Structure 1
Protein backbone atom coordinates (compact mmCIF):
# COMPACT_ATOMS: atom_id res chain seq x y z
CA UNK A 1 0.00 0.00 0.00
CA UNK A 2 2.73 2.46 0.94
CA UNK A 3 4.58 1.74 -2.30
CA UNK A 4 1.43 2.60 -4.24
CA UNK A 5 1.14 5.83 -2.27
CA UNK A 6 4.72 6.72 -3.20
CA UNK A 7 3.90 6.08 -6.86
CA UNK A 8 0.81 8.26 -6.54
CA UNK A 9 2.86 11.01 -4.93
CA UNK A 10 5.24 10.93 -7.88
CA UNK A 11 2.32 11.25 -10.28
CA UNK A 12 0.99 14.22 -8.31
CA UNK A 13 4.42 15.87 -8.21
CA UNK A 14 4.59 15.45 -11.97
CA UNK A 15 1.20 17.18 -12.26
CA UNK A 16 2.52 20.06 -10.15
CA UNK A 17 5.60 20.26 -12.36
CA UNK A 18 3.34 20.55 -15.42
CA UNK A 19 1.27 23.26 -13.76
CA UNK A 20 -1.87 21.12 -13.69
CA UNK A 21 -2.40 21.25 -9.91
CA UNK A 22 -1.00 23.21 -6.98
CA UNK A 23 -1.12 20.53 -4.27
CA UNK A 24 -2.65 17.18 -3.34
CA UNK A 25 -3.80 15.13 -0.37
CA UNK A 26 -5.04 11.74 0.82
CA UNK A 27 -8.60 10.91 1.82
CA UNK A 28 -8.92 7.67 3.78
CA UNK A 29 -11.15 6.17 6.44
CA UNK A 30 -8.04 4.35 7.63
CA UNK A 31 -6.67 7.54 9.18
CA UNK A 32 -9.32 7.18 11.88
CA UNK A 33 -8.40 3.63 12.86
CA UNK A 34 -6.14 2.32 15.60
CA UNK A 35 -2.66 1.12 14.64
CA UNK A 36 -3.50 -2.50 15.40
CA UNK A 37 -6.40 -2.46 12.92
CA UNK A 38 -5.63 -4.39 9.74
CA UNK A 39 -6.93 -1.47 7.64
CA UNK A 40 -4.84 1.17 9.43
CA UNK A 41 -2.90 3.49 7.13
CA UNK A 42 0.58 4.20 8.54
CA UNK A 43 0.91 7.95 8.21
CA UNK A 44 4.06 8.88 10.11
CA UNK A 45 6.39 8.69 7.10
CA UNK A 46 4.02 10.09 4.47
CA UNK A 47 5.75 13.45 4.43
CA UNK A 48 9.14 11.77 3.93
CA UNK A 49 7.63 9.87 1.02
CA UNK A 50 6.29 13.11 -0.42
CA UNK A 51 9.72 14.70 -0.13
CA UNK A 52 11.34 11.73 -1.86
CA UNK A 53 8.75 11.84 -4.62
CA UNK A 54 9.34 15.56 -5.14
CA UNK A 55 13.12 15.08 -5.21
CA UNK A 56 12.81 12.39 -7.86
CA UNK A 57 10.40 14.35 -10.04
CA UNK A 58 11.12 18.03 -9.38
CA UNK A 59 14.60 17.88 -7.80
CA UNK A 60 13.39 19.59 -4.64
CA UNK A 61 12.04 18.56 -1.23
CA UNK A 62 9.34 21.25 -1.45
CA UNK A 63 6.59 18.71 -1.97
CA UNK A 64 2.93 19.37 -2.71
CA UNK A 65 1.43 16.98 -0.15
CA UNK A 66 -0.87 19.42 1.65
CA UNK A 67 -3.91 17.76 3.20
CA UNK A 68 -5.52 14.68 4.73
CA UNK A 69 -9.21 13.84 4.91
CA UNK A 70 -10.89 11.42 7.31
CA UNK A 71 -14.21 10.76 9.05
CA UNK A 72 -14.66 12.14 12.56
CA UNK A 73 -17.58 13.08 14.77
CA UNK A 74 -18.81 13.01 18.37
CA UNK A 75 -18.61 9.21 18.50
CA UNK A 76 -15.56 8.60 16.30
CA UNK A 77 -12.78 10.66 17.82
CA UNK A 78 -9.71 8.44 17.60
CA UNK A 79 -8.42 9.93 14.36
CA UNK A 80 -8.56 13.45 15.80
CA UNK A 81 -6.11 12.44 18.51
CA UNK A 82 -3.71 10.62 16.17
CA UNK A 83 -3.67 11.29 12.42
CA UNK A 84 -5.28 14.73 12.59
CA UNK A 85 -2.94 15.86 15.37
CA UNK A 86 0.06 14.57 13.44
CA UNK A 87 -1.11 16.33 10.29
CA UNK A 88 -1.48 19.70 12.02
CA UNK A 89 1.93 19.35 13.64
CA UNK A 90 3.39 18.83 10.17
CA UNK A 91 1.66 21.74 8.50
CA UNK A 92 -1.03 19.75 6.68
CA UNK A 93 -4.66 20.79 6.37
CA UNK A 94 -7.23 18.49 7.97
CA UNK A 95 -10.54 17.89 6.22
CA UNK A 96 -13.29 16.04 8.11
CA UNK A 97 -16.05 14.13 6.36
CA UNK A 98 -19.10 12.31 7.75
CA UNK A 99 -19.47 14.76 10.68
CA UNK A 100 -23.13 13.85 11.31
CA UNK A 101 -23.23 10.13 10.47
CA UNK A 102 -21.57 8.18 13.25
CA UNK A 103 -20.93 4.49 13.77
CA UNK A 104 -19.69 2.56 16.78
CA UNK A 105 -20.23 -0.79 18.48
CA UNK A 106 -23.67 0.35 19.63
CA UNK A 107 -24.89 0.98 16.09
CA UNK A 108 -25.45 3.80 13.59
CA UNK A 109 -26.33 7.33 14.65
CA UNK A 110 -27.56 10.35 12.72
CA UNK A 111 -26.24 13.31 14.71
CA UNK A 112 -29.05 15.70 13.88
CA UNK A 113 -32.25 16.97 15.46
CA UNK A 114 -35.62 16.71 13.76
CA UNK A 115 -38.92 18.34 14.78
CA UNK A 116 -41.96 16.48 16.05
CA UNK A 117 -44.15 15.40 13.14
CA UNK A 118 -47.95 15.62 12.88
CA UNK A 119 -47.91 11.89 12.32
CA UNK A 120 -50.90 10.63 14.32
CA UNK A 121 -53.31 13.10 12.71
CA UNK A 122 -52.15 12.34 9.17
CA UNK A 123 -52.14 8.59 9.79
CA UNK A 124 -55.70 8.67 11.14
CA UNK A 125 -56.99 10.74 8.23
CA UNK A 126 -55.27 8.43 5.73
CA UNK A 127 -56.75 5.31 7.31
CA UNK A 128 -60.21 6.90 7.48
CA UNK A 129 -60.05 7.94 3.83
CA UNK A 130 -58.96 4.47 2.69
CA UNK A 131 -61.63 2.76 4.80
CA UNK A 132 -64.30 5.04 3.31
CA UNK A 133 -62.94 4.42 -0.18
CA UNK A 134 -63.04 0.66 0.31
CA UNK A 135 -66.69 0.53 1.37
CA UNK A 136 -68.84 -1.11 -1.27
CA UNK A 137 -65.85 -1.70 -3.54
CA UNK A 138 -64.11 -4.96 -4.31
CA UNK A 139 -60.78 -3.26 -4.97
CA UNK A 140 -57.92 -5.46 -3.87
CA UNK A 141 -55.53 -2.54 -4.27
CA UNK A 142 -57.29 -0.29 -1.77
CA UNK A 143 -57.47 -3.07 0.83
CA UNK A 144 -53.80 -3.87 0.24
CA UNK A 145 -52.79 -0.23 0.66
CA UNK A 146 -54.84 0.02 3.83
CA UNK A 147 -53.11 -3.08 5.19
CA UNK A 148 -49.73 -1.60 4.26
CA UNK A 149 -50.45 1.63 6.15
CA UNK A 150 -51.49 -0.35 9.24
CA UNK A 151 -48.42 -2.59 8.99
CA UNK A 152 -46.14 0.45 8.71
CA UNK A 153 -47.77 2.02 11.75
CA UNK A 154 -47.35 -1.18 13.78
CA UNK A 155 -43.72 -1.46 12.69
CA UNK A 156 -42.83 2.16 13.41
CA UNK A 157 -41.31 1.47 16.87
CA UNK A 158 -38.99 -1.11 15.31
CA UNK A 159 -37.33 1.40 12.96
CA UNK A 160 -34.58 2.80 15.15
CA UNK A 161 -32.99 5.38 12.87
CA UNK A 162 -32.96 6.97 9.42
CA UNK A 163 -30.48 4.38 8.16
CA UNK A 164 -32.97 1.58 8.82
CA UNK A 165 -35.71 3.70 7.24
CA UNK A 166 -33.68 4.03 4.02
CA UNK A 167 -33.72 0.26 3.59
CA UNK A 168 -37.35 -0.07 4.67
CA UNK A 169 -38.45 2.70 2.30
CA UNK A 170 -37.17 0.76 -0.71
CA UNK A 171 -39.43 -2.16 0.19
CA UNK A 172 -42.41 0.14 0.83
CA UNK A 173 -42.11 2.02 -2.44
CA UNK A 174 -41.65 -1.25 -4.28
CA UNK A 175 -44.93 -2.49 -2.78
CA UNK A 176 -47.02 0.56 -3.63
CA UNK A 177 -45.68 0.92 -7.17
CA UNK A 178 -47.93 -1.86 -8.41
CA UNK A 179 -51.08 -0.03 -7.24
CA UNK A 180 -50.54 3.14 -9.28
CA UNK A 181 -53.05 2.19 -11.97
CA UNK A 182 -55.88 1.68 -9.45
CA UNK A 183 -55.38 4.68 -7.15
CA UNK A 184 -53.69 8.08 -7.11
CA UNK A 185 -50.84 7.10 -4.83
CA UNK A 186 -49.33 10.59 -4.61
CA UNK A 187 -52.60 12.14 -3.44
CA UNK A 188 -53.61 9.34 -1.09
CA UNK A 189 -50.32 8.15 0.36
CA UNK A 190 -47.78 10.94 -0.08
CA UNK A 191 -48.82 12.89 3.06
CA UNK A 192 -48.70 9.69 5.12
CA UNK A 193 -45.32 8.58 3.77
CA UNK A 194 -43.81 12.02 4.39
CA UNK A 195 -45.24 12.12 7.92
CA UNK A 196 -44.02 8.58 8.58
CA UNK A 197 -40.46 9.48 7.58
CA UNK A 198 -40.60 12.68 9.65
CA UNK A 199 -41.75 10.67 12.66
CA UNK A 200 -38.91 8.17 12.17
CA UNK A 201 -36.43 11.03 12.05
CA UNK A 202 -37.92 12.69 15.13
CA UNK A 203 -37.96 9.51 17.23
CA UNK A 204 -34.46 8.63 16.08
CA UNK A 205 -33.09 12.05 16.98
CA UNK A 206 -34.65 11.87 20.46
CA UNK A 207 -33.01 8.48 21.00
CA UNK A 208 -29.65 9.88 19.83
CA UNK A 209 -29.97 12.88 22.15
CA UNK A 210 -30.63 10.58 25.13
CA UNK A 211 -27.72 8.34 24.13
CA UNK A 212 -25.29 11.27 23.92
CA UNK A 213 -26.41 12.61 27.27
CA UNK A 214 -26.18 9.25 29.03
CA UNK A 215 -23.11 7.77 27.31
CA UNK A 216 -21.00 10.87 26.64
CA UNK A 217 -22.35 13.14 29.38
CA UNK A 218 -23.02 15.97 26.94
CA UNK A 219 -24.97 18.11 29.35
CA UNK A 220 -25.73 20.91 26.89
CA UNK A 221 -28.01 18.54 24.96
CA UNK A 222 -30.39 18.57 27.91
CA UNK A 223 -31.41 21.92 26.47
CA UNK A 224 -33.94 20.99 23.77
CA UNK A 225 -33.22 24.30 22.00
CA UNK A 226 -29.66 23.14 21.31
CA UNK A 227 -29.59 20.99 18.19
CA UNK A 228 -27.50 17.83 18.03
CA UNK A 229 -25.86 18.95 14.78
CA UNK A 230 -24.80 22.24 16.33
CA UNK A 231 -23.12 20.45 19.23
CA UNK A 232 -21.48 18.01 16.79
CA UNK A 233 -20.04 20.80 14.65
CA UNK A 234 -18.85 22.85 17.61
CA UNK A 235 -17.05 19.77 18.91
CA UNK A 236 -15.07 19.48 15.67
CA UNK A 237 -14.35 23.20 15.41
CA UNK A 238 -13.14 23.28 19.02
CA UNK A 239 -10.88 20.25 18.61
CA UNK A 240 -7.96 22.43 17.52
CA UNK A 241 -6.96 20.07 14.70
CA UNK A 242 -9.71 20.60 12.10
CA UNK A 243 -9.51 23.06 9.21
CA UNK A 244 -12.52 22.10 7.09
CA UNK A 245 -15.71 20.14 7.78
CA UNK A 246 -17.43 18.68 4.72
CA UNK A 247 -21.24 18.49 4.73
CA UNK A 248 -23.81 17.14 2.34
CA UNK A 249 -26.02 19.85 0.81
CA UNK A 250 -28.93 17.77 -0.48
CA UNK A 251 -31.54 19.88 1.34
CA UNK A 252 -32.01 23.63 1.62
CA UNK A 253 -32.07 23.46 5.42
CA UNK A 254 -28.60 21.88 5.37
CA UNK A 255 -27.30 24.89 3.47
CA UNK A 256 -28.98 27.25 5.95
CA UNK A 257 -27.43 25.35 8.87
CA UNK A 258 -23.96 25.55 7.30
CA UNK A 259 -24.34 29.29 6.80
CA UNK A 260 -25.32 29.71 10.45
CA UNK A 261 -22.31 27.69 11.61
CA UNK A 262 -20.02 29.86 9.48
CA UNK A 263 -21.33 32.94 11.29
CA UNK A 264 -20.22 31.43 14.59
Structure 2
Protein backbone atom coordinates (compact mmCIF):
# COMPACT_ATOMS: atom_id res chain seq x y z
CA UNK A 1 0.00 0.00 0.00
CA UNK A 2 2.93 2.36 0.52
CA UNK A 3 4.75 2.04 -2.81
CA UNK A 4 3.16 5.24 -4.12
CA UNK A 5 3.87 7.53 -1.18
CA UNK A 6 6.35 10.43 -1.43
CA UNK A 7 9.92 9.91 -0.16
CA UNK A 8 9.24 12.40 2.64
CA UNK A 9 6.73 9.97 4.15
CA UNK A 10 8.51 7.67 6.60
CA UNK A 11 6.16 4.80 5.77
CA UNK A 12 6.97 4.88 2.04
CA UNK A 13 8.18 1.54 0.69
CA UNK A 14 10.75 1.73 -2.10
CA UNK A 15 10.35 -0.71 -4.97
CA UNK A 16 13.99 -0.05 -5.85
CA UNK A 17 15.06 -1.10 -2.36
CA UNK A 18 12.90 -4.24 -2.55
CA UNK A 19 14.49 -5.20 -5.86
CA UNK A 20 17.95 -4.49 -4.48
CA UNK A 21 17.32 -6.80 -1.54
CA UNK A 22 15.94 -9.52 -3.81
CA UNK A 23 19.05 -9.39 -5.99
CA UNK A 24 21.25 -9.52 -2.90
CA UNK A 25 19.62 -12.81 -1.89
CA UNK A 26 20.11 -14.55 -5.23
CA UNK A 27 20.51 -13.69 -8.89
CA UNK A 28 17.55 -15.82 -9.98
CA UNK A 29 15.16 -14.26 -7.46
CA UNK A 30 11.40 -14.44 -7.92
CA UNK A 31 10.58 -10.80 -7.33
CA UNK A 32 8.72 -10.11 -10.55
CA UNK A 33 5.51 -8.23 -9.73
CA UNK A 34 4.43 -5.39 -7.44
CA UNK A 35 0.90 -4.47 -6.43
CA UNK A 36 -0.32 -1.15 -5.08
CA UNK A 37 -3.56 0.84 -4.85
CA UNK A 38 -4.14 3.40 -7.58
CA UNK A 39 -7.09 5.49 -8.67
CA UNK A 40 -7.94 9.07 -9.62
CA UNK A 41 -7.33 10.27 -6.07
CA UNK A 42 -4.41 8.01 -5.16
CA UNK A 43 -2.10 8.36 -8.13
CA UNK A 44 1.30 8.43 -6.44
CA UNK A 45 2.42 5.22 -8.12
CA UNK A 46 2.18 6.96 -11.48
CA UNK A 47 3.25 10.48 -10.54
CA UNK A 48 5.57 10.50 -7.51
CA UNK A 49 9.28 10.12 -8.25
CA UNK A 50 10.21 7.99 -5.26
CA UNK A 51 12.60 5.44 -6.78
CA UNK A 52 15.79 7.26 -7.66
CA UNK A 53 13.92 10.00 -9.47
CA UNK A 54 11.46 7.62 -11.11
CA UNK A 55 7.86 6.77 -10.30
CA UNK A 56 6.85 3.21 -9.49
CA UNK A 57 5.53 2.72 -13.02
CA UNK A 58 8.67 4.17 -14.61
CA UNK A 59 11.01 2.15 -12.42
CA UNK A 60 9.14 -1.12 -12.90
CA UNK A 61 8.94 -0.68 -16.65
CA UNK A 62 12.70 -0.08 -16.87
CA UNK A 63 13.49 -3.03 -14.60
CA UNK A 64 11.04 -5.46 -16.18
CA UNK A 65 8.74 -5.75 -13.17
CA UNK A 66 5.02 -6.28 -13.63
CA UNK A 67 2.61 -3.84 -11.98
CA UNK A 68 -0.86 -4.69 -10.70
CA UNK A 69 -3.07 -2.01 -9.18
CA UNK A 70 -5.97 -2.59 -6.82
CA UNK A 71 -8.80 -0.38 -5.53
CA UNK A 72 -9.18 1.39 -8.89
CA UNK A 73 -12.74 2.45 -8.02
CA UNK A 74 -12.54 2.79 -4.23
CA UNK A 75 -10.59 5.94 -3.43
CA UNK A 76 -9.71 7.23 0.00
CA UNK A 77 -9.60 11.00 0.37
CA UNK A 78 -10.09 13.20 3.40
CA UNK A 79 -10.82 10.23 5.69
CA UNK A 80 -13.67 9.02 3.53
CA UNK A 81 -14.05 6.45 0.82
CA UNK A 82 -15.25 7.67 -2.56
CA UNK A 83 -16.77 5.15 -4.92
CA UNK A 84 -15.83 6.09 -8.48
CA UNK A 85 -19.04 4.93 -10.08
CA UNK A 86 -22.48 6.07 -11.15
CA UNK A 87 -25.40 5.06 -8.96
CA UNK A 88 -28.28 6.20 -11.15
CA UNK A 89 -28.54 6.57 -14.89
CA UNK A 90 -27.97 10.05 -16.35
CA UNK A 91 -31.06 12.21 -15.93
CA UNK A 92 -32.69 9.92 -13.37
CA UNK A 93 -33.51 10.99 -9.83
CA UNK A 94 -32.31 8.89 -6.89
CA UNK A 95 -34.99 6.44 -5.70
CA UNK A 96 -37.24 7.58 -2.86
CA UNK A 97 -39.24 6.13 0.02
CA UNK A 98 -41.45 3.99 -2.21
CA UNK A 99 -38.40 2.24 -3.67
CA UNK A 100 -37.20 1.52 -0.13
CA UNK A 101 -40.57 -0.05 0.72
CA UNK A 102 -40.28 -2.28 -2.34
CA UNK A 103 -36.85 -3.43 -1.17
CA UNK A 104 -38.20 -4.27 2.28
CA UNK A 105 -41.47 -5.86 1.12
CA UNK A 106 -40.21 -9.49 0.78
CA UNK A 107 -38.67 -9.36 4.25
CA UNK A 108 -41.83 -7.86 5.73
CA UNK A 109 -44.01 -10.50 4.08
CA UNK A 110 -41.83 -13.27 5.48
CA UNK A 111 -41.97 -11.76 8.97
CA UNK A 112 -45.76 -11.51 8.77
CA UNK A 113 -45.92 -15.32 8.75
CA UNK A 114 -44.14 -15.68 12.07
CA UNK A 115 -46.87 -14.54 14.46
CA UNK A 116 -49.78 -16.54 13.03
CA UNK A 117 -47.70 -19.70 12.57
CA UNK A 118 -45.60 -19.71 15.75
CA UNK A 119 -47.03 -17.04 18.04
CA UNK A 120 -43.69 -15.23 18.34
CA UNK A 121 -43.16 -11.50 18.71
CA UNK A 122 -41.31 -9.95 15.80
CA UNK A 123 -37.75 -8.67 16.04
CA UNK A 124 -38.82 -5.09 16.76
CA UNK A 125 -41.25 -6.12 19.49
CA UNK A 126 -44.90 -7.05 19.10
CA UNK A 127 -46.02 -6.68 15.50
CA UNK A 128 -43.06 -4.49 14.55
CA UNK A 129 -40.58 -6.46 12.51
CA UNK A 130 -37.10 -5.91 11.16
CA UNK A 131 -38.44 -4.51 7.89
CA UNK A 132 -40.33 -1.77 9.76
CA UNK A 133 -37.25 -0.98 11.85
CA UNK A 134 -35.03 -0.64 8.80
CA UNK A 135 -37.62 1.56 7.10
CA UNK A 136 -37.41 3.93 10.07
CA UNK A 137 -33.61 4.02 10.17
CA UNK A 138 -32.58 4.23 6.51
CA UNK A 139 -34.12 7.65 5.65
CA UNK A 140 -31.89 9.18 8.35
CA UNK A 141 -28.71 7.83 6.75
CA UNK A 142 -26.57 9.39 4.05
CA UNK A 143 -24.41 6.64 2.56
CA UNK A 144 -23.54 2.93 2.60
CA UNK A 145 -20.75 3.71 5.07
CA UNK A 146 -23.27 5.37 7.37
CA UNK A 147 -25.48 2.28 7.05
CA UNK A 148 -22.59 0.02 8.05
CA UNK A 149 -21.98 2.13 11.14
CA UNK A 150 -25.64 2.19 12.15
CA UNK A 151 -26.51 -1.40 11.27
CA UNK A 152 -24.26 -2.96 13.90
CA UNK A 153 -25.66 -1.40 17.09
CA UNK A 154 -29.20 -0.68 15.91
CA UNK A 155 -30.00 -3.65 13.67
CA UNK A 156 -27.55 -6.55 13.76
CA UNK A 157 -26.92 -6.90 17.49
CA UNK A 158 -30.59 -6.56 18.53
CA UNK A 159 -31.46 -9.02 15.76
CA UNK A 160 -28.89 -11.54 17.00
CA UNK A 161 -30.30 -11.26 20.53
CA UNK A 162 -33.82 -11.84 19.25
CA UNK A 163 -32.75 -14.84 17.17
CA UNK A 164 -31.04 -16.42 20.19
CA UNK A 165 -34.17 -16.00 22.32
CA UNK A 166 -36.33 -17.54 19.63
CA UNK A 167 -33.89 -20.39 19.12
CA UNK A 168 -33.94 -21.21 22.83
CA UNK A 169 -37.72 -21.28 22.81
CA UNK A 170 -38.29 -23.02 19.47
CA UNK A 171 -35.17 -25.12 18.98
CA UNK A 172 -37.18 -28.29 18.34
CA UNK A 173 -39.81 -26.72 16.12
CA UNK A 174 -38.99 -27.51 12.50
CA UNK A 175 -41.27 -24.71 11.33
CA UNK A 176 -39.03 -22.23 13.14
CA UNK A 177 -35.86 -23.76 11.73
CA UNK A 178 -37.18 -23.52 8.18
CA UNK A 179 -38.46 -19.97 8.73
CA UNK A 180 -35.16 -18.88 10.25
CA UNK A 181 -33.09 -20.16 7.32
CA UNK A 182 -35.21 -18.24 4.83
CA UNK A 183 -35.19 -15.19 7.10
CA UNK A 184 -31.40 -15.04 7.30
CA UNK A 185 -31.08 -15.30 3.53
CA UNK A 186 -33.65 -12.53 3.11
CA UNK A 187 -31.77 -10.36 5.61
CA UNK A 188 -28.51 -10.70 3.68
CA UNK A 189 -30.20 -9.86 0.39
CA UNK A 190 -32.14 -6.97 1.89
CA UNK A 191 -29.13 -5.43 3.62
CA UNK A 192 -27.15 -5.50 0.38
CA UNK A 193 -30.02 -3.84 -1.49
CA UNK A 194 -30.35 -1.21 1.24
CA UNK A 195 -26.66 -0.42 0.84
CA UNK A 196 -27.12 0.03 -2.91
CA UNK A 197 -30.20 2.17 -2.27
CA UNK A 198 -28.17 4.49 -0.05
CA UNK A 199 -25.35 4.58 -2.57
CA UNK A 200 -27.62 6.45 -4.98
CA UNK A 201 -27.40 9.44 -2.64
CA UNK A 202 -23.75 9.76 -3.60
CA UNK A 203 -24.53 10.43 -7.25
CA UNK A 204 -24.03 14.17 -6.75
CA UNK A 205 -20.41 13.49 -5.79
CA UNK A 206 -20.02 11.17 -8.79
CA UNK A 207 -21.26 13.97 -11.03
CA UNK A 208 -18.62 16.31 -9.58
CA UNK A 209 -15.90 13.71 -10.13
CA UNK A 210 -16.98 13.33 -13.76
CA UNK A 211 -16.73 17.09 -14.30
CA UNK A 212 -13.30 17.17 -12.64
CA UNK A 213 -12.17 14.28 -14.82
CA UNK A 214 -13.23 16.09 -17.96
CA UNK A 215 -11.61 19.31 -16.76
CA UNK A 216 -8.38 17.33 -16.31
CA UNK A 217 -8.40 16.36 -19.97
CA UNK A 218 -10.60 13.28 -20.27
CA UNK A 219 -12.78 13.58 -23.38
CA UNK A 220 -16.49 14.01 -22.74
CA UNK A 221 -18.09 10.61 -22.71
CA UNK A 222 -21.41 8.87 -22.28
CA UNK A 223 -19.59 5.95 -20.66
CA UNK A 224 -20.07 5.22 -16.98
CA UNK A 225 -17.83 7.03 -14.52
CA UNK A 226 -16.32 3.70 -13.50
CA UNK A 227 -15.31 2.93 -17.08
CA UNK A 228 -13.80 6.37 -17.48
CA UNK A 229 -11.80 5.97 -14.27
CA UNK A 230 -10.62 2.50 -15.27
CA UNK A 231 -9.68 3.67 -18.75
CA UNK A 232 -7.39 6.33 -17.30
CA UNK A 233 -5.47 3.64 -15.43
CA UNK A 234 -5.50 1.16 -18.31
CA UNK A 235 -3.94 3.84 -20.52
CA UNK A 236 -0.91 4.33 -18.26
CA UNK A 237 2.42 3.14 -19.67
CA UNK A 238 3.99 0.49 -17.48
CA UNK A 239 0.77 -0.67 -15.84
CA UNK A 240 0.06 -4.31 -16.62
CA UNK A 241 -3.17 -5.16 -14.81
CA UNK A 242 -6.04 -3.31 -13.12
CA UNK A 243 -7.71 -5.53 -10.52
CA UNK A 244 -11.47 -4.97 -10.33
CA UNK A 245 -14.13 -6.29 -8.01
CA UNK A 246 -16.22 -9.15 -9.38
CA UNK A 247 -18.95 -9.56 -6.76
CA UNK A 248 -21.70 -8.93 -9.29
CA UNK A 249 -21.98 -9.74 -12.97
CA UNK A 250 -22.76 -6.12 -13.81
CA UNK A 251 -19.42 -5.08 -12.31
CA UNK A 252 -17.65 -7.48 -14.65
CA UNK A 253 -19.67 -6.38 -17.69
CA UNK A 254 -18.98 -2.74 -16.91
CA UNK A 255 -15.24 -3.30 -16.51
CA UNK A 256 -14.95 -5.39 -19.66
CA UNK A 257 -16.36 -2.48 -21.64
CA UNK A 258 -13.11 -0.60 -21.05
CA UNK A 259 -11.47 -2.87 -23.62
CA UNK A 260 -13.58 -1.17 -26.30
CA UNK A 261 -12.67 2.37 -25.23
CA UNK A 262 -10.05 4.56 -26.86
CA UNK A 263 -6.97 5.01 -24.63
CA UNK A 264 -6.52 8.46 -23.10
CA UNK A 265 -3.56 10.49 -21.85
CA UNK A 266 -3.58 8.84 -18.45
CA UNK A 267 -0.55 10.57 -16.94
CA UNK A 268 -1.71 14.01 -17.99
CA UNK A 269 -5.21 13.42 -16.66
CA UNK A 270 -3.94 12.18 -13.30
CA UNK A 271 -1.56 15.14 -13.06
CA UNK A 272 -4.35 17.64 -13.74
CA UNK A 273 -7.14 15.95 -11.78
CA UNK A 274 -8.43 18.36 -9.14
CA UNK A 275 -11.48 16.93 -7.32
Shorter-chain TM-score bucket reads 0.5 to 0.7
**Counterpart-to-counterpart distance in 1, 2:185 and 2:66:** 50
Distance 1:248 1:208, change over 3 A: same
| TM-score (structure 1 length as normaliser) | 0.66
User: What is aligned with 1:9?
Assistant: none
Show the 5 A alignment for 1:99-138: 99-105=72-78, 107-115=80-88, 118-124=95-101
User: What is aligned with 1:143?
Assistant: 128
8 Å Cα contact 2:88-2:200 kept in structure 1 = yes
**Counterpart-to-counterpart distance in 2, 1:80 and 1:151:** 45
**Counterpart-to-counterpart distance in 2, 1:247 and 1:86:** 24
User: What is aligned with 2:200?
Assistant: 202
Distance 1:53 1:192, change over 3 A: closer
User: What is aligned with 1:213?
Assistant: 211
8 Å Cα contact 2:86-2:226 kept in structure 1 = yes
Gaps in structure 1 of 5+ consecutive residues: 1-28, 55-60, 134-138
Show the 5 A alignment for 1:1-150: 29-54=1-26, 61-81=27-47, 82-105=55-78, 107-115=80-88, 118-124=95-101, 140-143=125-128, 145=130, 148-150=133-135
| TM-score (structure 2 length as normaliser) | 0.63
Q: CA deviation at 1:247?
A: 1.7
8 Å Cα contact 2:227-2:257 kept in structure 1 = no
SS of aligned partner of 2:194? helix
Matching residue within 152, 163, 183 for 2:145: 163
Distance 1:50 1:141, change over 3 A: same
Matching residue within 227, 245, 250 for 2:247: 250
Distance 1:216 1:262, change over 3 A: closer
SS of aligned partner of 1:69? strand
Superposition RMSD on alpha carbons, in Å?
3.8
Comparing 243-252 and 141-150, the one that deviates more: 141-150
Q: CA deviation at 1:63?
A: 4.2
**Counterpart-to-counterpart distance in 2, 1:193 and 1:118:** 16
**Counterpart-to-counterpart distance in 2, 1:147 and 1:90:** 59
1:239 aligns with 2:221: no
Gaps in structure 2 of 5+ consecutive residues: 48-54, 113-120, 167-175, 262-275
